[in-house]
Structure 1
Amino acid sequence: MQPDSIIHVGNSVVQHGPSNDRVYLMKLDPDDLPEIAHEIYELGRQNGYTKLFAKVPAYATSHFASLGFVDEARVPLMHKGECAGYFMSKYMDQRRSIPENMERISKVLEQAERKATTSQRASGENEVVRLRLGNLDELAALYSTVFKTYPFPVHDVEFLKESMLADTAFFGVFSDTKLVAAASMEMDMEWQCAEMTDFATLPEYRGKGAAGQLLTSMENAAGDLDINTVYTIARAESFGMNIVFSRAGYSFGGTLHNNTQIAGKLESMNVWFKQVGTR
């Protein structure tokens, strides 16, 4: 299945398509308020999508709430260190609002909370490095191996190149000369926040702390920039990734139900956040 399209609605950035079966308002331009809420709704209705999803600052929530959007997660001080960011959803088909595996999602959160104060296991054998344009082929190959399907075309070298040249920093772990793990930091310098995302480790190198090492390196990089808040949208049924963020001092912000298509199915996602900037 082809990845969903990324378009502009007004000056705002929107992803939509059948892969995730949703409309996702990724980047709101305040000048598009209040019309953008209705335009998102119409785009979803006309295409028959079952979910509408919007990341918006606190001051914009009323425009979406008036159309039946509810906040499934929130991140304090996400917007310029001044107000919260809200992840708001509207289900065009109520069946999508109910996760199939709530018991496992609850167990993941319980275990993440229990292990929040335990130390992160790391082999310490391999250094984390920031990836450059010369690493794009091996980065795409890594993502193709780990993710058979993904909400963004991370297997595509051109997409990775565009991302790297824009606002995304990729980091990797090498074993000898082989790239064995990677992640990215998508920076929003207007909001002064960054999403820690696209974590991938080859199966034979898992359990050695690569994700935790990557996260620490990205946080250190964020600390050198004008970034106040870092956050992630992690697979809600993944014990490993939720524990990584809990151990790193992140707080739980909410669960996005049946939100993202990964590995051929819609998965619920947990939002975790951490304040890293000084105000």
Structure 2
Amino acid sequence: MKTKETDTIEKVGDDLIQHGKNSDRIYLMHCTKSDKKQLLHYLNKLGKDQNYSKIIAKVPESLETAFIKDGYCEEAQIPSFYSGEETCKLMGKYLLPERQKVKDKQQIKKVIEHVSARSHINRIKPLADEFEIKRLTEADALEIAFLYKKVFESYPFPIFEPNYLNDTMKDNIKYFGAFFEKQLIAVSSSEMDLDNLNSEMTDFAVLPEFRGHQLAYHLLTKMESEMVKDGFQVLYSIARSASYGMNGCFAKSNYHFGGTLFNNTQISGSIESMNIWYKELK
């Protein structure tokens, strides 16, 4: 599967959704605690009108019952997500039967068991002297976009566009990079929810020729130090379920496994299941 469409991000009342054919889904990204009847009706209608096959909703635990009654089921959770006080439930609703069929459940389980069993084995080496990690700025946007294009065939957000990267830097995302001889060779970002004091550790990309140096781990460590300094309560990530490297990176960094979003996100040309990892900082 491959599409060049850019997903739509829109406000529905006080809530925020993303939807499009890239991941063939609706994603409720921000959900308030107001009455959800109107929102649930809108999501169902949009799903039917656009023939989407899944809705994934990130909701406060106190609203879980309303979503279950509408046909959602819990796929993952992130404790302390809302200002360190309330758990976030990631609720999935499948609108077409074929989307619900998970072919790689055993492989997902194998990855989680493998990285969890080895999480206590500390094989993290200090960052080699030839590499430098630092926060990126708008001046780096063109190089960031170029790196992402080299690493990903496609992505659920327009990270290949420098203007998008600049806009998000001004809003709520901090980007970090690893350099070798002044060349940007790896990138990651912290997407900050300033209202709820949580931050997503995301958009990790390392050029193939520089893999094996644990750059994702060192980027994560740098981002964590920034988020701790800024007073965030919980950090989390949504990692490709088949990736031993990224799941292992979070397991070794003392993140907890929160569940799997099945057949959830289109990356590099196909829809993949995604694992949730979280770390409480309070």
Interval containing the TM-score (normalised by the shorter chain): over 0.9
Provide the C-alpha distance between the structure 2 equivalents of 1:245 and 1:32, rounded to a whole number of angstroms. 35
Number of residue pairs matched by the alignment: 277
The Cα of 1:30 is off from its aligned counterpart by 3.0
The separation in 1 between residues aligned to 2:125 and 2:163, in whole angstroms, is 32
Q: In terms of mean alpha carbon deviation, does 124-133 or 146-155 score higher? A: 124-133
| Residue aligned with 1:68, SS | coil
1:16 matched to 2:19? The reply is yes
- Answering whether residue 31 of structure 2 is matched by residue 28 of structure 1, we say yes
2:43 matched residue in structure 1:
40
- Pairwise CA distance, 1:167: 0.4
2:242 to 227, 237, 241: 237
Structural RMSD (CA): 1.2
Match of 1:53 among 52, 56, 69: 56
Matching of residue 138 in structure 1 with residue 143 in structure 2: yes
Partner residue, 2:251: 246
Report 1:1-279 matches (<5 A): 1-31=4-34, 33-122=36-125, 124-125=127-128, 126-276=131-281, 278=282
User: How far apart are residue 66 of structure 1 and its match?
Assistant: 1.3
In 2: Cα distance, 1:49 partner to 1:122 partner = 44
Q: Distance in 2 between matches of 1:107 and 1:26?
A: 29
Q: Secondary structure at the match of 2:167?
A: helix
Name the % identity.
38
CA distance, structure 1, for counterparts of residue 71 and residue 47 of structure 2: 13
CA contact (8 A) 1:20 1:260 kept: yes
1:120 and 1:244 in contact (8 A); partners too: no
Mapped partners of 1:252, 1:234: distance in 2: 10
How far is the alpha carbon of 1:133 from its aligned partner? 0.6
Which stretch of structure 1 is more off in the superposition, 9-18 or 247-256?
9-18
Q: 1: distance between equivalents of 2:97 and 2:223?
A: 37
Matched to 2:237, the amino acid is T
Q: How far is 1:180 from its partner?
A: 0.3
Q: Name the CA distance, whole Å, in 2 between partners of 1:22 and 1:122.
A: 40
CA distance in 1, matches of 2:188, 2:252: 17
Counterpart contact for 1:122–1:213, Cα < 8 Å: no
Which runs of 5 or more structure 2 residues have no equivalent in the other structure?
A: none
Shift of 1:220: 0.4
Q: Is the 8 Å Cα contact of residues 120 and 212 (structure 1) preserved in structure 2?
A: no
Asked whether the equivalents of residues 235 and 267 of structure 1 are also in contact (C-alpha less than 8 Å), the reply is yes
Using the TM superposition, give the Cα deviation of residue 250 of structure 1 relative to its aligned residue in structure 2, in angstroms.
0.4
In structure 2, how many angstroms separate the alpha carbons of the residues matched to 1:168 and 1:47? 30
Q: Which amino acid aligns with 2:111?
A: V
TM value normalised by structure 1: 0.96
1:263, distance to aligned residue in structure 2 (A) = 0.6
How many Å separate the matches in 2 of 1:122 and 1:141? 28
Runs ≥4 residues deviating over 4 A = none
Structure 1 residue 39: Cα displacement: 1.2
Runs of 5+ consecutive residues of structure 1 not aligned to the other structure: none
